[in-house]
Chain A
Amino acid sequence: EDQVTQSPEALRLQEGESSSLNCSYTVSGLRGLFWYRQDPGKGPEFLFTLYSAGEEKEKERLKATLTKKESFLHITAPKPEDSATYLCAVQPRDGNNRLAFGKGNQVVVIP
């Protein structure tokens, strides 16, 4: 069974205080790992896709990295508008594109 564990569950940061979010996964062959941002009451908003260990992707203050067992989402000098829940999801090779999500990392950035 595909398992995705995200830590920490919740994180409060001062504006400008960089940090990292962790996503550990167990999957029977990884097709892709996805990071989404979710605001309260809204749908997941796509951020990054990572396909192989060693890959990195960057967008503004966010950087995602991937190893064979985990992924990190680094938030550099966060701003209050980065406050959201960040969702990690894996897509196994043995499925027809289904995504298995973690519970998310809830981030609050305080001005």
Chain B
Amino acid sequence: EPEVTQTPSHQVTQMGQEVILRCVPISNHLYFYWYRQILGQKVEFLVSFYNNEISEKSEIFDDQFSVERPDGSNFTLKIRSTKLEDSAMYFCASSDDLAGVGETQYFGPGTRLLVL
């Protein structure tokens, strides 16, 4: 069964450093997403991406965040200058939305980011 994969599973970084989180969405999906979950809190939407551009972003997704689809299979989230409060589990998701109806988003296993 196709699944979303993410690398690395864990990343530890120093405050102010740049990190890149990587995702391989399900191959025939068209929409890609990033969410985050701070420990003990709800899953929060960051950004959605379609047709090689951002289709929606939340207030959390400020100028220090960026997303890219560098090739036909990968989808990345870059945090330019990490802050302590960026420590969280980051989930990538993808969906096939040809019908324009709420298609299911399938989530990856997550990358646990710890900023020291």
The answer to whether the Cβ of A86 comes within 8 Å of any Cβ in the partner chain is no
Shortest Cβ gap from A90 to chain B (Å) = 9
- In the complex, which residues 90-111 of chain A have their Cβ closer than 8 Å to any Cβ of chain B? 91, 95-104
Shortest Cβ gap from B108 to chain A (Å) = 5
Given contacts A36-B107, A43-B109, A45-B107, contact A98 B45 (CB under 8 A): yes
The answer to whether the Cβ of A8 comes within 8 Å of any Cβ in the partner chain is no
List of B residues within 8 angstroms of A99 by Cβ: 35, 43, 45, 105
Interface string of B3-45 (1 = CB under 8 A from A): 0100000000000000000000000000101010000011111
B56 touching A96, Cβ below 8 Å: yes
A97 touching B97, Cβ below 8 Å: yes
- In the complex, which residues 36-66 of chain B have their Cβ closer than 8 Å to any Cβ of chain A? 41-45, 48, 50, 55-56, 58
The answer to whether the Cβ of A34 comes within 8 Å of any Cβ in the partner chain is yes
How far, in whole Å, are A34 and B107 apart by their CA atoms in the complex? 13
Interface string of A18-49 (1 = CB under 8 A from B): 00000000000001101010000111111001
Q: B interface, how many residues as a size bin?
A: 20 to 34
How far, in whole Å, are A76 and B26 apart by their CA atoms in the complex? 32
A44 touching B91, Cβ below 8 Å: yes
List of B residues within 8 angstroms of A49 by Cβ: 102, 104
How far, in whole Å, are A7 and B109 apart by their CA atoms in the complex? 25
List of A residues within 8 angstroms of B56 by Cβ: 95-98
Shortest Cβ gap from A10 to chain B (Å) = 12
How far, in whole Å, are A34 and B33 apart by their CA atoms in the complex? 16
How far, in whole Å, are A104 and B43 apart by their CA atoms in the complex? 9
15 further interface pairs, Cβ-Cβ under 8 Å (given A97-B33, A98-B58): A31-B102, A34-B102, A41-B89, A45-B107, A95-B56, A96-B48, A96-B50, A97-B48, A97-B55, A97-B56, A97-B103, A99-B35, A99-B43, A100-B45, A104-B42
- Pull 21 A–B residue pairs with CB atoms less than 8 Å apart, ordered by A: A32-B102, A34-B102, A34-B105, A36-B107, A42-B110, A44-B43, A44-B91, A44-B107, A46-B107, A49-B102, A49-B104, A51-B102, A87-B43, A97-B33, A97-B95, A97-B102, A99-B35, A100-B45, A101-B44, A103-B42, A104-B42
